[in-house]
């Protein structure tokens, strides 16, 4: 079956700004910062002390909230899985179950052999690996014997499959900070070219470890020099004092299906996916490329059969790095010309920090919620605007505006780029 129109019929979120769609949107529009000092990561020997932290998330309460809302056999499977898997995998299970319920796939009687599950990310369970290696150094026999299974990124996908009864293709997609969009692209392909009736795309929470955070500080990729004592001010895309991104816990899940089947079964339709395209810069270094970004944004517009003037809003990659932020602004100007000054942009990472592999999913969910609300959240911490940034970036205030098309940029380490275009659903166009 080939379906040209793809609908998003389920969404869920778990970030330090909220674990419900309503709460997440409310926090975004309030301009609330999620960044604090790390609570359970040992920062005593590393430079960066700050991030958006989910380590104290009440998993037990979340598990209990599903009792009576899902079949008893599924509830038992969930409790068993949660008991044994690492922390990040537990969060993947819970946020995926939220999206599955939101989509009402089970009620619709989908053939689960034709449902795909794709997890965005790689090296997801960093801290679990780190802790097991510390235990190995102290006493090998006391380490987790399931490391060889639970340490694999594919275990996230396997747990989704086991819990929900997914029997179609399951896999992970690793593309650094473009992973979420790359996974979305794979999900679209599963529906359009491989007969999937639906596809679940899970952006997993990256479980950062002290060595990973310290290495990023040594690379000057993350903020630490000026803002360890002011964590909420650290993530500052487009500000002249930006020093690097702020690592963040956060995950989200989207459920995709052909628009025709979504309409037929009366599903809630959050948005349509118009196009998702990817390219690379031909360099493994974390040095963003104007040429690569420009070429990709032009390609995704071409694939979507849209003129630049039809894009209303760009949810920018905007990580708060000195080179990255300005490279993206320059690329947008190349692609959109005079229309660039009519566009609305904002930086979700100014509020949440950078959720890394899951960022395109987490931020796309936020963008869809804003599109449907007709309100764009403020970009915060812009005390002194970079003089080269002369576009409408929602600096410090909510912007009320109709949005029909949103572009979501994601540019990852290794010269990996992936950009999507999402469309507000309009039933009158059926």
For residues 13-19, average pLDDT: 98
Q: Are residues 380 and 355 in the same domain?
A: yes
> How do beta strands 50-52 and 115-120 pair?
unpaired
Q: What integer pLDDT is reported at residue 430 of this predicted model? A: 83
* Domain boundary, last residue among 247, 271, 295: 271
Same domain, 291 and 247: no
In the beta sheet, which residues pair with residue 120? 173, 203
Question: From the CB of residue 371, how many other CB atoms can be counted at a distance below 10 Å?
Answer: 25
Residues in the chain: 430
Q: At what angle do helices 87-103 and 126-138 cross, to 10 degrees?
A: 150
Q: Is residue 62 part of a domain?
A: yes
Which of 271, 290, 306 corresponds to the end of one domain? Answer: 271
Residue linked to tokens 């970030």: 15
pLDDT tens digits, residue range 190-221? 999 999 999 999 999 999 999 999 999 999 99
**Computed over its alpha carbons, how large is the radius of gyration of the chain?**
20
Q: Final residue of a domain: which of 271, 305, 338?
A: 271
Examine the domain organization and report whether 266 and 306 are in the same domain. Answer: no
Q: Are residues 316 and 259 both part of a single domain?
A: no
Per-residue H/E/C for the chain:
CCCCCEEEEEEEEEECCECCHHHHHHHHHCCCCCEEECCCCCCCCCCCCEEECCCCCCHHHHHHHCECCECHHHHHHHHHHHHHCCHHHHHHHHHHHHHHHHHCCCCCCCCHHHEEEEEECCCCCHHHHHHHHHHHHHCHHHCCCCHHHHCCCHHHHHHHHHHHCCCCCEEEECECECHHHHHHHHHHHHHHHCCCCEEEEEECCCCCCHHHHHHHHHCCCECCCCCCCCHHHCCCCCECCCCCECEECCEEEEEEEEHHHHHHCCCCCCEEEEEEEEEECCCCCCCCCHHHHHHHHHHHHHHHCCCHHHCCEEECCCCCCHHHHHHHHHHHHHHHHHHHHCCEEECCHHHHCECHHHHHHHHHHHHHHHHHHCEECCECCCCCECCCCCCECCECCCEECCCCEEEEEEEECCCEEEEEEEECCCHHHC
- Looking only at the bridges linking them, the beta strands covering 313-315 and 344-346 are parallel
77 located within any domain: yes
Q: Indicate whether 206 and 332 sit together in one domain.
A: no
Q: Could you tell me if 229 and 353 lie in one domain?
A: no
Residues 211 and 319 in one domain: no
By percentage, how much of the chain surpasses pLDDT 90? Answer: 97
Q: Is 218 exposed, middle or buried, given 0-12, 13-18 or 19+ CB atoms closer than 10 A?
A: exposed
> What is the per-residue pLDDT for 207?
97
In a domain, 429, yes or no: no
Q: What is the CATH number of the domain that holds 320?
A: 3.40.47.10
Q: 123 lies in a domain?
A: yes
Does the pLDDT at position 1 exceed 60? no
Tokens in use for 375?
């309100």
pLDDT digit string, tens, across residues 266-290 = 999 999 999 999 999 999 988 899 9
For residues 120 and 220, what is the distance between their CA atoms, to the nearest angstrom?
25
Q: Which two tokens stand for residue 70?
A: 């899902």
pLDDT one-digit tens code per residue, 334-391: 999 999 999 999 999 999 999 999 999 999 999 999 999 999 999 999 999 999 999 9
The pLDDT tens digits for 103-125 are 999 999 999 999 999 999 999 99
Residues 363 and 380 in one domain: yes
430 lies in some domain: no
Stretch 225-253: mean pLDDT, rounded?
Answer: 97
Q: In this structure, are 347 and 224 located in the same domain?
A: no
Catalytic residues: 177, 317, 354
* Overall number of domains in the chain: 2
Same domain, 309 and 245: no
In a domain? residue 139: yes
Say if residue 147's pLDDT is above 70: yes
How far is 338 from 375, CA to CA, in rounded Å?
Answer: 23
Would 231 be classed as within a structural domain?
Answer: yes
Cα–Cα dist 219/226, whole Å: 16
**Domain limits for position 130:** 6-271
Q: Residue 3: pLDDT band by 50, 70, 90 thresholds?
A: low
Q: Is the pTM of this model over 0.85?
A: yes
401 and 253 housed in the same domain: no
Task: Report yes or no: 179 and 121 within 8 Å, Cβ to Cβ.
Answer: yes
**Are residues 216 and 177 in contact, defined by beta-carbon separation less than 8 angstroms?**
no
Whole-number pLDDT of residue 301 = 98
CA distance 58 to 61: 6
Q: Is 155 found in the same domain as 260?
A: yes
Looking at the predicted structure, is the pLDDT value of residue 2 above 70? no
Q: Is residue 428 part of a domain?
A: no
């Amino acid at each position: 079956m080939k379906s040209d129109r793809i609908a998003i019929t389920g969404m869920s979120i778990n970030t330090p700004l909220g674990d419900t769609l309503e709460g997440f949107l409310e926090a975004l529009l309030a301009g609330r910062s999620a960044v604090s000092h790390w609570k359970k990561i040992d920062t005593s020997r590393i430079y960066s002390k700050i991030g958006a932290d989910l380590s104290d998330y009440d998993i037990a309460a979340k598990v209990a909230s599903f009792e009576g809302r899902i079949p008893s056999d599924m509830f038992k499977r969930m409790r068993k899985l949660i008991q044994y898997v690492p922390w990040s995998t537990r969060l993947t299970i819970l946020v995926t179950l939220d999206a599955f319920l939101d989509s009402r796939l089970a009620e619709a009687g989908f053939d689960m052999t034709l449902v795909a599950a794709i997890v965005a990310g790689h090296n997801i369970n960093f801290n679990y690996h780190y802790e097991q290696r510390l235990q190995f150094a102290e006493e090998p026999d006391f380490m987790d014997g399931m490391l060889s299974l639970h340490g694999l990124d594919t275990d996230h996908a396997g747990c989704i499959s086991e819990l929900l009864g997914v029997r179609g293709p399951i896999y992970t997609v690793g593309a650094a900070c473009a992973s979420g969009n790359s996974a979305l692209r794979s999900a679209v392909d599963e529906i359009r070219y491989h007969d999937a009736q639906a596809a679940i795309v899970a952006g997993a929470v990256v479980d950062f470890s002290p060595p990973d955070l310290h290495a990023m500080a040594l690379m000057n990729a993350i903020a630490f020099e000026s803002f360890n004592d002011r964590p909420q001010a650290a993530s500052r895309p487009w500000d002249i004092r930006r020093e690097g991104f702020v690592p963040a816990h956060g995950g989200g899940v989207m459920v995709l299906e052909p628009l025709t089947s979504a309409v037929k079964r009366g599903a809630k339709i959050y948005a349509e996916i118009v196009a998702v395209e990817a390219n690379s810069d031909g360099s493994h270094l974390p040095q963003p490329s104007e040429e690569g970004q420009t070429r990709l944004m032009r390609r995704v517009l071409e694939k979507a059969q849209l003129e630049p003037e039809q894009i209303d809003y760009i949810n920018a990659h905007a990580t708060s790095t000195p080179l990255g932020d300005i490279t993206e602004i320059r690329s947008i100007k190349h692609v959109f010309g005079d229309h660039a000054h009519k566009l609305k942009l904002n930086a979700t990472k100014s509020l949440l920090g950078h959720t890394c592999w899951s960022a395109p999913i987490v931020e796309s969910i936020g963008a869809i919620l804003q599109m449907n609300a007709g309100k764009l959240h403020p970009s915060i911490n812009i005390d002194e605007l970079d003089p080269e940034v002369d576009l409408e970036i929602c600096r410090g205030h909510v912007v009320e505006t109709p949005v029909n098309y949103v572009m979501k940029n994601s540019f990852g380490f290794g010269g990996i780029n992936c950009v999507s275009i999402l469309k507000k659903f309009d039933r009158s166009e059926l």
